[in-house]
Amino acid sequence: MGKLLIVGSMAFDAIETPFGKTGKILGGAATFIGLAADQFNVESAIVSVVGDDFPQSYLDIFADRNIDISGVEIVKGGKTFYWKGKYHNDLNSRDTLVTELNTLGDFNPIVPGHFKDADVVMLGNLHPNIQIGVINQMEERPKLIILDTMNFWMDNTWTELIEVIKHIDVITINDEEARQLTNEYSLVKAAAKIQEMGPKYVVIKKGEHGALLFHEEHIFFAPALPLEEVFDPTGAGDTFAGGFAGHLAQTKNISFESIKNAIIHGSNLASFCVEKFGTERMISLQKHEIDKRLLQFKELTQFNIELT
């Protein structure tokens, strides 16, 4: 059984979309990554921080799934990271209404001793200094280090971000972020530049238009499954990352073909995440649903052709 270390936020989210709105609900990058990775045969642990306002019932969600939360710091008297946002009608854009870092602002991650030998490390969207701090705590270099980041860190911590990018194997970003990181409009050129920075593999997420994988001269495209209903895109990217990392930790196969499969698994799980608000769909998800939709992905992408 592979070991997966997940580093990221556990949070409260308040979400409004054209289909409704919520009060404070469970959210955060590590939350979605962990729930997605739980669908695979892996031993996983989360490193994060919350305040003592974080309900025990939320922590029990992870403990009940045998996700190790010994690396989750609970700050007495502290408040948990809180994000509130409102999505536009197309669900592709949103307005951030509230961001309160709270305990996340002073987060000093401590990797549990029994996970310092993890096969795969998934660095969720956090300050680059936190990400590099986790890498430095590992006893030996993991088989694969995956990093997620965003334009905020490009705007505010450029030097630190470039430094951590030198030490990773896979970066997952969206198309806008890839262009900002490289000053290249062409995603092919952008991916080539990013590979020169350090990562062997570049995954560029395009939301409802799928995801692209770049490795050396190879390119692979995974479509997004057309869905009848999309309620809430929050956490879809992190769910994708969790499925991606979970598959690779389970197989321990770090090849281009295996990573192609990991992208399909990540896209598959992300398609469930958006069907309900927050983590609701991921918590109720069953294996037979996952397998059925994987077959739909297969039918969507396979064809026979004769060249004459």
**Residue 129 phi/psi, 5° resolution?**
-65, -35
The pair of structure tokens assigned to 151 is 């334009």
Query: What per-residue confidence (pLDDT) applies to 74?
Result: 97
Indicate the pTM of the whole model.
0.94
Query: What per-residue confidence (pLDDT) applies to 57?
Result: 97
Where residue 135 falls (left for φ over 0; alpha for ψ -120 to 50; beta otherwise) is alpha
Burial class (CB in 10 A: 0-12, 13-18, 19+), 21: middle
Instruction: Dump pLDDT digits (tens) for 215-266.
Output: 999 999 998 888 877 889 999 999 999 999 999 999 999 999 999 999 999 9
Query: What per-residue confidence (pLDDT) applies to 225?
Result: 83
Query: What per-residue confidence (pLDDT) applies to 103?
Result: 96
Query: What per-residue confidence (pLDDT) applies to 34?
Result: 97
Q: What is the spatial distance between Cα 195 and Cα 214, in angstroms, rounded to a whole number?
A: 9
Burial class (CB in 10 A: 0-12, 13-18, 19+), 302: exposed
Query: What per-residue confidence (pLDDT) applies to 303?
Result: 77
The segments of the chain whose pLDDT lies below 50 read none
Query: What per-residue confidence (pLDDT) applies to 307?
Result: 83
Query: What per-residue confidence (pLDDT) applies to 308?
Result: 75
Query: What per-residue confidence (pLDDT) applies to 250?
Result: 96
Query: What per-residue confidence (pLDDT) applies to 283?
Result: 95
Q: What is the spatial distance between Cα 31 and Cα 43, in angstroms, rounded to a whole number?
A: 15
* CA-CA-CA-CA dihedral for 176, 178, 180, 185, to nearest 10: -80
Neighbours of 94 (CB within 10 A): 16
- Mapping DSSP to helix (H, G, I), strand (E, B) and coil, where does residue 252 land? coil
